[in-house]
Amino acid sequence: MNYKIVFSDIDGTLLNHDRVLSPATISTIKELKDRLPFVLISARMPAAMRHLQADLAIENQPIICYNGGLILIDGLAVSSTEIPLNTIESLCDFNKSMNCHLSLYHSDEWYVPQHDQWAAREENNTKVKPELRSNREVVSEWKQENKGAHKIMAMGDEAHIDAIKDYLVQEFPNQLHLYRSKPTYLEIANKEISKLTAIKFLLKNHFKITTEETIAFGDNYNDVEMIKGVGMGVAVGNARKEVLEVANIVTQSGKEDGVANSLKELFKI
């Protein structure tokens, strides 16, 4: 197969043990980028992806943010799918007794209810600084602006995360994607979208390339559908079992430059 485009997840896939792009990854993608598009696809917000685009010299390419909830081309939103405000309000009410950390995201806006260990960890990982504002205040403002959340990140004790997940499954059974990236993290997005739906949107409306001509790299639960649905789904060695099971091939781990190594082999770089 003559593959014509590459999509890659970021955290756990493209970054090394220091959570940055390695020199080998940068040089490999820079060598490849003039032959075919290399597109970043992540649960991250746009501001947490642009510096990586710049490092790879692929600022001219689209980016897929929030697991497909927001697609940007030349900085402009061409697709935006949000979590409705009534769902956010309901979750905030349920969370009052637990006071679990709920980060609210919309495009390049990131609001945290307090600067705690959870906010500090995410800030360190993504190189983006959040704005301090209560969940209630954000919801009130978004009501006036007719906006929802591209992503909600619940972070806290495992028991609290269990309770939030159970509540959302019961109250909004067909509305939300719930990604449990680790016991203390729950990423919440609109169920209408996924990384694969975003890829298909870009392939059809922007690149005019088929899914069979597409390569994708990933490692986590939110990558399963993407890895299974493209022409060549590649799991890094540290990927979840569910990703490894549906991948066409498995490369080295993200910490061992698995993406770069696989690209060198596939494209004879």
Residues in Cβ contact with 76 at an 8 Å cutoff, skipping those fewer than 6 apart: none
Residue 9 annotated among the catalytic residues of the structure: yes
Provide the pairing of β-strand 76-80 with 101-106: unpaired
* Tokens coding 84: 């409705």
CB-CB contact of 100 with 161 (8 Å): yes
Strand-by-strand arrangement of the 176-182 sheet: 131-132, 109-112, 101-106, 151-155, 185-190, 176-182
What is the CA angle 232-229-249, rounded to 5? 30
Of 3, 63, 67, give the one whose Cα is nearest residue 263: 3
CB-CB contact of 229 with 7 (8 Å): no
Write b or e for each residue in 28-65: b if 16 or more Cβ atoms lie within 10 A of its Cβ, otherwise e. bbeebbeebbbbbbbbbbbbbbbebbeebebeebbbbb
The one catalytic residue among 9, 219, 223, 257: 9
Of 153, 150, 149, give the one whose Cα is nearest residue 164: 153
Catalytic annotation, residues: 9
